[in-house]
Structure 1
Amino acid sequence: MRIIFIEDEHALRENTTKALEENGYSVDAVDNGEDGLFHTLEYPSDLVIVDLGLPKLDGIQLIRKARAEGINTPILILTARDRWQEKVEGLDAGADDYLTKPFHTEELLARCNALIRRSVGQDTPEISAGPITINTRTQQVRVNGKALDLTAYEYKVIEYLLLNPEKVISKTELTEHIYDQDFELDSNVIEVFVGRLRKKIDPDGTLKPIQTLRGRGYRLALEVS
């Protein structure tokens, strides 16, 4: 999952970006509102985290402009402001949630996970598709109750497929959502990950959980519950 993180405080931006990346997110971090709005409008993402007190363009204006342009990506406000009126203003501008500084990393991660899940209609961290079950909080994958040993990127691929059931997902879209923006988009590495996933999830070839649509991409072939 890919996050755009807009925060002007250098230490907080660096430390939070590191924590998010260590927990499996790809992060585009920027330090001002103008660049933040550009990234929000131009680059696909699964969540935008916005500080309110930004230079060049404050967080409230950024959120309003993004929503006016039709961006429906979940937005989480980070704010050092403790006045309830400013929190309400942020939510009224189009944000989905807020977190007051200072915050615990565990709470930020939990809110990120919940916002991304809810944006695709999933209320709990545990998502199932046939015999496959993933937990988006612990990043564990099980098939018929047996835990699988997946690499970080293999997990990202199966998670994205389960969070977007019935949707045909191109290699480009998968790459944009699991890698940083400067990754080579025409790489065939996605094919390698999908091939490995099929072998680990469906070693005898009877389940066929991931469908390939030639020239279009991949689609989860199982019903999600």
Structure 2
Amino acid sequence: MKKILFALLIFSFQSVFANPYMENYEFTEEYEDIRNSKDTKFLKPNEKVTVRYIDGVEEYFNYLSEGYVALGFSNFVSNSASNQEAIEQAKKVKAPLVLIIKTLLDQSFNINNVPKQSTNQLFYNFDAAFLALDESYKQTTLGIQFSDLPHDLVKKYQRNTGILVFLVYKNGPAYRSNILRDDVITQINGREVWKDNFSTILNEEKSKATPLKLTVIRDSTSKIIPVTLGW
């Protein structure tokens, strides 16, 4: 009986003092590629981890546009989670930067179906991203990341072709040409593009002496944007 009580005491102690950033951490699907990239700048020995609280996803994308890549994420609900706990996990995965979105939950929220002990006890949702700097984006032609058109845009624009720009790297060719995140690129020099052929057509067209012109849909209006290549 004493052994059982001792085991329960140890479990209770561990639960109270467990690091929620570690307990709820998940690597990204791209982590192995990022880890093996010579362009990724991980946390160095004796380097300080930076922890920043941000307002939302748009601010997160601002960091991605500077070349940061996510190594992994932690998501959990807690009434207290310290910066030091975030730093401990960052050191474990060698992330020099942690971005946290901390959102106050509704006062009626019950964690694990257990009512709060006090009306003064506040619970928060923590969304944390652990990032490293990756400068391989400077090797890209346009300095963007893109995807197929999601279903809502296929329906909105009544088209299957085109790509959705979901990230524009700062100071790159697309950035300087005022290509924006959420733009839809439909043509390169008059040639229809989609995700599978975009890079091929881009490389073919950039090898020609003619200027590069992208047909872009923005706010339901189509326009042609000249792009000057080179970083």
What TM-score comes out, normalization by structure 2 length? 0.28
